[in-house]
Amino acid sequence: MKPIKIIECPRDAMQGIKTFIPTEKKVDYIQSLLRVGFDTIDFGSFVSPKAIPQMQDTAEVLAQLDLSQTQSKLLAIIANTQGAQLASVHKEIQYLGFPFSISENFQMRNTHKTIAESLITLQEILDIANASNKEVVAYLSMGFGNPYGDPWNVEIVGEWTERLAKMGVKILSLSDTIGSSTPEVIDYLFSNLIPKYPDVEFGAHLHTTPDKWHEKVDAAYKAGCRRFDGAIQGLGGCPMAKDDLTGNMPTEKLLSYFTTQKENTHTSPMSFESAYNEATKLFSAFH
């Protein structure tokens, strides 16, 4: 069996907060996460400061992190070729994350590009990643449904998976952008796609309300998914979700679930508790 990978997303937790969190506070928080043993930390983004002001200091944060004692890899989100070029000069970053929506409406809202334009951008990003020894994580946003009335069904998700795999995407995270996924759809997608594309690592970037987390994780895990994104305390999430209670998948719930499944997440419970306390301190001061 493949090991479970937990991807912690402080970037997702912070990016919607209006008050600017000082760089040193971000550094301290991410440093606490680096001690836990997560597979990857989605720590920042190289996007326009106008679009996401909170992340404008990503390069400064990176410069101050001590990576000497951690096994965790770093992921930065980018929305275009320029962002990929900015991120690619940092040897400490292993992954470039690119949100690719199969909803024309959402792609326009998110990156101001059509799907056709985004495919060209993705190819350019893959080329930059190859040249700088990085890997692209593509997020298939609206992977589990579409509230905008664009066509959506599991076959469309399959077609896009096929296309992106052919382009050379090796890690594809299905994103439940608005928390609309159901256990049935999660099970259907992962149990069909994982065996069909053995060279692609599939991830679950699930958003959830507090009462639905277990059924979503359970469905993805039992269908063969071994890569899960989370954020401590479920902080952050998509501003476009209809329900205010919809947030990121709480990392503590992921860890408790995999403990009951006797899966090793390679995380330290004591370091996690310390990071959890840091999150409480940081996000009660800035929210």
Residue 236 contacts by C-beta under 8 Å, 6 or more apart in sequence? 9, 12, 13, 14, 15, 16, 247, 248
User: Domain span at residue 94?
Assistant: 5-285
The β-bridge partners of 207 are 248
Model pLDDT, residue 241: 55
H or E segment at 244? none
Cα 222 to Cα 173: distance, rounded to the nearest angstrom: 16
Model pLDDT, residue 238: 63
Q: What is the DSSP letter of 249?
A: P
Q: What is the DSSP letter of 260?
A: H
Cα 99 to Cα 83: distance, rounded to the nearest angstrom: 12
- Walk along the chain (287 residues) and give the pLDDT tens digit of each residue: 689 999 999 999 999 899 999 999 999 999 999 999 999 999 999 999 998 999 999 999 999 999 999 999 999 999 999 999 999 999 999 999 999 887 777 777 777 788 888 899 999 999 999 999 999 999 998 778 777 777 787 888 889 999 999 999 999 999 987 788 899 999 999 999 999 999 999 999 999 989 999 999 999 999 999 999 999 999 986 655 555 667 899 999 999 999 999 999 999 999 999 999 999 999 999 98
Cα 4 to Cα 13: distance, rounded to the nearest angstrom: 22
Model pLDDT, residue 143: 79
Q: Do the Cβ atoms of 284 and 240 come closer than 8 Å?
A: no
For Cα atoms 260, 261, 267, give the angle at the middle one, nearest 5 degrees. Answer: 80
Q: Do the Cβ atoms of 19 and 286 come closer than 8 Å?
A: yes
Q: What are the tokens at 104?
A: 């024309």
Residue 18 contacts by C-beta under 8 Å, 6 or more apart in sequence? none
Q: What share of the chain is helix, strand, coil (3-state, %, to 5)?
A: 45, 20, 35
Q: What is the DSSP letter of 173?
A: E
Full-model pTM: 0.94
Model pLDDT, residue 120: 93
Model pLDDT, residue 244: 65
Model pLDDT, residue 39: 98
How many structural domains are present in the chain? Answer: 1
**Taking the alpha carbons of 209, 210, 213, 215 in that order, is the dihedral positive or negative?**
negative
CATH of the domain at 192: 3.20.20.70
